[in-house]
Amino acid sequence: MTSAPSPALPLNLSQEVSLLTAALVDVESVSGGETPLADAVEAALRAQTSLEVTRDGDAIVARSRLGHSDRVILAGHLDTVPLPATAGARGTVPSSWDGTPGEGVLWGRGTTDMKGGVAVQLALAARLFPSNAGTGHDGAGAPAAAATAGRDVTFVFYDHEEVEAAKSGLGRLALNRPDLLAGDFAILLEPTNGTVEGGCNGTLRVEATTVGEAAHSARAWMGKNAIHAAAPILARLAAYEPATVTVDGLDYRESLNAVGISGGTAGNVIPDRCVVTINYRFAPDKSLEEAEALVGALLDGFDVVRTDGAPGARPGLTHPAAAAFVAVVGREPLPKYGWTDVARFSELGVPAVNFGPGDALLAHKDDERVAAEDVRACLSALEVWLTA
């Protein structure tokens, strides 16, 4: 195991992209503490690119102005979940390498979710829109790498993705500066193992409540057990057969499950209230209201209240830019079962897909890691597509 060096700021956007990933990981950025990394990203974009840079809180938007007819958005979040509590866990900060740095596997919090994707964004910004693009040379006498993108590009780096939706930096941008998020097609660089994952399922959380009558457990017949009264709720959920719904050629598997149950006040008291928390992951052919109606119908006769929810997003693969990108990647697109911020772009009228380096199953785990080659492959596919 080779330890990564201490972070050196400012960020060097021209270094090999997996080494840039390590530099990003080494700046701790748990949700709510993104400012140091946001400062570094903003400074690097202003110094090393010709992009127009705007900041809103700890969200940074960098936009090209080439005058192309198409504008695509590449988006990623800067924050991570909290660091591992397990002593000796390798998925922490600072990062470490298995093998030669830049060639092996990079370990650390955020390597998969999603500093690899952010590094790809930054590398593309520096490659396609260098600060010396208009000077005719690169500072060493060689011709400058003029902006070669065949589309205008908006790079979005945002805060507070790993916490409640009300704090989302992308949601704040959508409210404060929706003009900065205008585009024809968006790619969210969440980990997908380098495969395009179209759209996402929606999510709905409800609470189903039963009410009983409290009594001493030695005289249970004097009361009514609210936990027992919740048994039909669990039975209906267990019997429910989740659908698989085809949307724009992709098969979205739904799921409907009890994810929590609470009730009772003491070991010698018959409970007078019980709450079952239910989560429904629904295909993007449904609105949030339609999903809520389906759950309400299934649990007819019970008090059901929505506590949280977000609509899904259709795949967006019918857009010409999306079709061209899928062709470059060369893999059959898959559906995204979990909710991601592609849904926010969909609400803004921008079709969006997920595509990024790393295995999503490693996200938030104490052994989080990403292979250097996977980050390079993601960068290569996007660069080929953007310069086509």
Q: How far apart are CA 95 and CA 364, in angstroms?
A: 15
The pLDDT of residue 164: 85
Query: What are the start and end residues of each CATH 3.40.630.10 domain in the chain?
Result: 2-199+313-387
Q: What is the pLDDT of residue 133?
A: 58
Averaged over successive runs of 10 residues, the pLDDT of the chain (388 residues) comes to 51 97 96 96 97 97 94 97 87 92 95 97 97 50 51 97 92 96 96 95 96 96 97 98 94 97 96 98 96 98 94 88 92 92 92 94 94 97 94
Instruction: Let me know if 65 is exposed, middle or buried by CB neighbors in 10 A (0-12, 13-18, 19+).
Output: exposed
**Across-strand partners of 210?**
274
Residue intervals in the chain for CATH 3.30.70.360: 202-310
To which residue do tokens 């079952």 refer? 276
Cα-atom radius of gyration of the chain, to the nearest Å?
A: 24
Q: Which CATH code of 3.30.70.360, 3.40.50.2300, 3.90.226.10, 3.10.450.30 fits the domain covering 202-310?
A: 3.30.70.360
Q: Which of 280, 282, 285 is nearest to 247 (CA)?
A: 285
Q: What is the pTM of this model?
A: 0.85
**295 to each of 237, 276, 311, how far by Cα in Å?**
10, 13, 15
User: Which residues participate in catalysis according to the annotation?
Assistant: 79, 161
Residue with tokens 């998020």: 181
345: helix, coil or strand? helix
Which DSSP state fits 331?
A: S
- Cα–Cα distance for residue pair 304/297, rounded to 1 Å: 10
Domain 2-199+313-387 has CATH 3.40.630.10: yes
325-334 residues labelled b (16+ CB within 10 A) or e (exposed): bbeebeeebb
User: Residue 286: left (phi > 0), alpha (psi -120 to 50), or beta?
Assistant: beta
Task: Assess contact for 162 and 169: CB atoms under 8 A.
Answer: no
Angle between helices 372-387 and 17-25 (to 10 degrees): 120
Q: Token pair of 148, please?
A: 């070669």
Q: How far apart are CA 262 and CA 313, in angstroms?
A: 32
| Length of the chain (residues) | 388
Three-state SS for 306?
strand
Instruction: Give the C-alpha separation, 30 to 93, whole Å.
Output: 10
Residue 373 DSSP SS3: helix
**What residues are paired with 104 via a beta bridge?**
none
N-term to C-term CA, the chain: 39
> What does the pLDDT read at residue 141?
34
Query: Which residue, among 350, 363, 358, has the nearest Cα to 378 in the 3D structure?
Result: 358
